[in-house]
């Protein structure tokens, strides 16, 4: 069984729908709090840019790291550097000494190095003191969010877990559950002499460690006889002010709150100079504070694999997880311990190896780019995962176990399409000499032929002089799944376009469009590439019908003004444009395809047409730059079909929430997948914008107007 098939079968058995629903509700609560508090934050985008600047200047700044170490040691910290997970765990074990019980607070680094399991294997009892982490510890599961580790569990799940572990009945009442966990933790805090925490930031100028928390447990943990801090070398900031700026942003994005309940600033051991102003250390516990600075491949990434260095700029807010299509479809199985989601998969792949990265979810990402859009420091994990997919195919051993990927690529090489021997629809009668070429793409030729026919009919009704060519696959899907497309294929298509006199090329597939535009940047073609709705928006005026003075609808095009820009437009074939004969009572919503929207910065082509026709347009919760993925991209539809449908269902659910009758999109692949997300009893109709306009013309709701001709 291939690695992907094995993973797919395992996930289908392991992923629980109820836990995903709980997780989504919790994530939505965070989003709601963010919206409620947004107005209270002075210029969020400016804060993001400032944090991004700070991180870019700090991560990989070895002089800054050495300054931080020197200042920490000057403040009575014992600083030990660890090259990898094994060494870090052994250092912690040595520092614990003869103790058999330790209490610890939330720490992603401790999860990254597998510290808890390591200590348990060496006879040491480890107790998590964060409420959520303690519950997760009882279950043996992986945390589902950095700041909400148990958010995938309902209060009923938690009641069962606590009742079993504590051996007494705990009712499913949140207050009672909290109290039960608190009492359990308190019993260990009284006895433990060693406390382990993580660190959100280390400041070089002050030589201090900052730890953010809300429950108050960190303060109690670090007041043991010995305080051990695990941190990575990318956590260093120049000054306290820089770290506080980051912590403010991290808190808002992680929880929606404006500020955390606590920020512990640890500046060393306790000290006093109350007697003759002489400085004494160790007045109260802890008697010693140890900082373990973990490398674990970070220096190598920063120096030898710089294309991936942005992965280390992460501030740990988890904002990328809240709307990630894959994470919302399979939960924390997408990622590694302490490194969740696409960014976690990428970093873990670099640290532990590509094979382990595949198990963590290397091919589960739809590469939609939403994570990069919502990340405060701009980490686009999808891009990094595509690069790592290429690396996976360069290993003969791994290549041989990626049957689905290699089969897809071999099919394209053999048949010129990812759909193999499936019949391709031909439109040979439309091939002629013309300045406008319509490029259909493999999806439209194979599994979504109906919207292609409708687009062709619309262009014909509008009198557009256009043609088709004998297309060859642009091989965009190869780029998505780890291989490299053959530029010769695109060159062949371009030659055919020029042979028929083409100057403008219209696309029904944004992925194909993006592929051609990327090629054009490297090898200028002299052609103009655009998607069909943008072409219609540019060439035709869309306006409500003037019932009081219909003659105004047919004025000479030189005097006919655009309703949005007040400028005359150059119109085709004697048409002045379209007009809506009546207000359509149906509610329409629009899905931004990832490659068209985030990929090409094109959001308004279809919306301009719809607004001009007085369409009742209702935006979904996630739209424009933050539009959710349909689930078809990155090979997910072919490799993990169930999860692809689940992602589509989530998107369709957003359309249902705004009571849409029609869900429009301008990507044939999106249309195909979104249809899979409509339940059997669902009433939403999924259409492309050209299909919607054509239907309006056919039913008389939209009229095409010609300019006046001399009688």
- Tell me the domains of the chain and their CATH numbers: 1-35+317-401 (1.10.1060), 41-125+194-296 (3.40.50.10420), 130-192 (no CATH), 428-533 (3.40.50.1860), 536-706 (3.40.50.1860)
**3-class DSSP state for residue 590?**
strand
pLDDT in tens, 313-365: 999 999 999 999 999 999 999 999 999 999 999 999 999 999 999 999 999 99
- Tokens 């992602």 belong to which residue? 647
- What is the model's pLDDT at position 573? 45
Q: Do residues 213 and 129 make contact, with C-beta atoms less than 8 angstroms apart? A: no
Listed residue (292, 239, 249) closest to 92, CA to CA: 292
State percent of the chain over pLDDT 70. 93
N-to-C CA span, the chain: 75
β-pairing, 262-266 with 208-213?
antiparallel
Residues constituting the chain: 711
Token pair belonging to 448: 């979504």
Q: Of the given ranges (21-30, 573-582, 585-594, 692-701), which has the lowest mean pLDDT?
A: 573-582
How does residue 690 score in pLDDT terms, banded at 50, 70 and 90? very high
Q: What CA–CA distance (Å, rounded) separates 332 from 149?
A: 10
Burial 288-299 (b: 16+ CB within 10 A, else e): bbbbbbbbbbbb
β-pairing, 662-665 with 587-591?
parallel
CB neighbourhood size of 567 (10 A): 7
Listed residue (669, 598, 603) closest to 440, CA to CA: 669
Token pair belonging to 375: 């990340």
Token pair belonging to 628: 């959710």
For residue 617, count CB atoms less than 10 angstroms from its CB and return exposed for 0-12, middle for 13-18, buried for 19 or more.
middle
Helices 44-58 and 240-255 cross at an angle (nearest 10°) of 130
How does residue 707 score in pLDDT terms, banded at 50, 70 and 90? very low
- What are phi and psi for residue 465, nearest 5 degrees? -85, 105
Calculate the CA 344 to chain-centre distance.
12
Q: What CA–CA distance (Å, rounded) separates 576 from 541?
A: 6
Listed residue (397, 539, 403) closest to 466, CA to CA: 539
What integer best gives the mean pLDDT of the chain?
91
Residues near 53 by beta carbon (within 8 Å), at least 6 away in sequence: none
What mean pLDDT do residues 76-101 have?
Answer: 97
Residues near 540 by beta carbon (within 8 Å), at least 6 away in sequence: 462, 569, 571, 572, 575, 577, 578
What's the whole-model pTM score?
A: 0.91
Per-residue pLDDT at 398 exceeds 80: yes
Q: Do residues 231 and 198 make contact, with C-beta atoms less than 8 angstroms apart? A: yes
Q: Do residues 357 and 388 make contact, with C-beta atoms less than 8 angstroms apart? A: yes
- Tokens 């700090």 belong to which residue? 58
HEC assignment per residue over 243-302: HHHHHHHHHHHHHCCCCCCEEEEECCCCEECCCCCCCEECCCCCCEEEEEEECCCHHHHH
Q: What CA–CA distance (Å, rounded) separates 333 from 341?
A: 8
Strands (DSSP E) contained in 24-95 are: 77-82
State percent of the chain over pLDDT 90. 81
Token pair belonging to 595: 């490659």
Q: What CA–CA distance (Å, rounded) separates 289 from 72?
A: 10
What mean pLDDT do residues 82-103 have?
Answer: 98
């Amino acid at each position: 069984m291939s690695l992907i098939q094995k993973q797919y079968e395992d996930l289908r058995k392991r992923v629980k729908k109820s836990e995903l629903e709980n997780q989504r509700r919790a994530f939505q609560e965070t989003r709601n709090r963010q919206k409620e508090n947004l107005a209270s934050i002075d210029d969020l985008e400016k804060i993001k840019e400032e944090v991004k600047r700070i991180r870019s200047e700090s991560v990989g700044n070895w002089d800054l790291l050495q300054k931080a170490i020197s200042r920490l040691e000057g403040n009575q910290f014992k600083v030990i550097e660890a090259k990898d997970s094994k060494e870090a765990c052994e250092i912690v074990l040595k520092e614990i000494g003869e103790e058999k019980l330790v209490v610890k607070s939330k720490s992603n680094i401790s999860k990254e190095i597998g510290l808890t399991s390591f200590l348990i294997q060496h006879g040491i009892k480890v107790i998590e003191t964060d409420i959520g982490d303690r519950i997760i510890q009882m279950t043996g599961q992986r945390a589902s969010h950095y700041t909400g580790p148990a958010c995938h569990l309902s209060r009923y799940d938690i009641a069962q877990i606590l009742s079993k572990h504590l051996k007494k009945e705990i009712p499913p009442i949140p207050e009672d559950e909290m109290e039960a966990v608190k009492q359990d933790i308190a019993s260990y805090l009284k006895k433990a002499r060693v406390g382990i925490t993580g660190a959100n930031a280390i400041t070089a100028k002050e030589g201090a460690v900052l730890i953010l928390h809300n429950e108050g447990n960190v303060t109690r943990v670090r007041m043991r006889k010995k305080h051990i801090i695990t941190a990575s070398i990318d956590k260093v900031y120049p000054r306290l002010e820089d770290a506080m700026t980051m912590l403010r942003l991290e808190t808002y994005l992680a929880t929606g709150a404006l500020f955390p309940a606590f920020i512990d600033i640890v500046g060393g051991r306790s000290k006093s100079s109350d007697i003759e102003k002489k400085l004494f250390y160790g007045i109260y516990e802890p008697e010693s504070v140890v900082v373990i600075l973990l490398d674990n491949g970070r220096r190598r990434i920063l120096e030898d694999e710089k294309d991936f260095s942005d992965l280390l700029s992460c501030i740990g807010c988890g904002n990328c997880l809240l709307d990630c299509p894959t994470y919302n479809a399979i939960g924390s199985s997408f990622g590694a311990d302490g490194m969740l989601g696409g960014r976690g998969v990428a970093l873990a792949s670099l640290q532990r190896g590509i094979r382990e990265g595949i198990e963590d979810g290397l091919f589960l990402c739809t590469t939609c780019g939403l994570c990069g859009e919502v990340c405060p420091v701009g980490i686009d994990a999808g891009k990094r995962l595509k690069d790592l997919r290429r690396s996976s195919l360069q290993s003969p051993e791994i290549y041989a176990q990626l049957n689905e990927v290699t089969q897809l690529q071999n099919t394209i090489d053999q048949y010129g399409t990812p759909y193999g021997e499936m019949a391709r629809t031909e439109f040979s009668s439309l091939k002629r000499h013309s300045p406008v070429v319509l490029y259909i793409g493999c999806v439209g030729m194979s599994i979504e032929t109906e919207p292609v026919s409708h687009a062709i009919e619309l262009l014909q009704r509008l009198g557009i002089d256009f043609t088709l060519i004998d297309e060859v696959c642009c091989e965009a899907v190869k780029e998505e799944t780890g291989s490299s497309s053959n530029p010769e294929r695109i060159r062949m298509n371009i030659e055919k376009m020029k042979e028929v006199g083409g100057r403008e090329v219209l696309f029904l597939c944004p992925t194909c469009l993006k592929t051609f535009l990327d090629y054009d940047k490297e090898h200028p073609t002299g052609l103009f590439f655009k998607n069909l709705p943008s072409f219609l928006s540019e060439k035709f005026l869309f306006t409500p019908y003037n019932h009081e003075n219909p003659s105004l609808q047919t004025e000479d095009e030189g005097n006919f003004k655009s309703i949005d820009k007040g400028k005359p437009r150059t119109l085709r074939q004697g048409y002045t444009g379209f007009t809506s004969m009546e207000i359509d009572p149906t509610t329409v919503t629009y899905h931004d395809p990832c490659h068209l929207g985030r990929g090409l910065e094109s959001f308004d082509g279809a919306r301009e047409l719809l607004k001009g026709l007085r369409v009742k347009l209702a935006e979904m919760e996630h739209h424009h730059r933050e539009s959710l993925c349909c689930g078809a991209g990155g090979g997910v539809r072919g490799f993990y079909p169930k999860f692809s449908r689940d992602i589509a269902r989530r998107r369709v659910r957003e359309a249902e929430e705004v009571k849409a009758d029609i869900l429009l999109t301008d990507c044939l692949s999106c249309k195909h997948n979104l249809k899979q997300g409509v339940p059997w009893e669902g009433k939403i109709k999924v259409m492309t914008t050209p299909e919607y306009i054509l239907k309006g013309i056919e039913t008389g709701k939209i009229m095409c107007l010609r300019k006046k001709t001399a009688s």
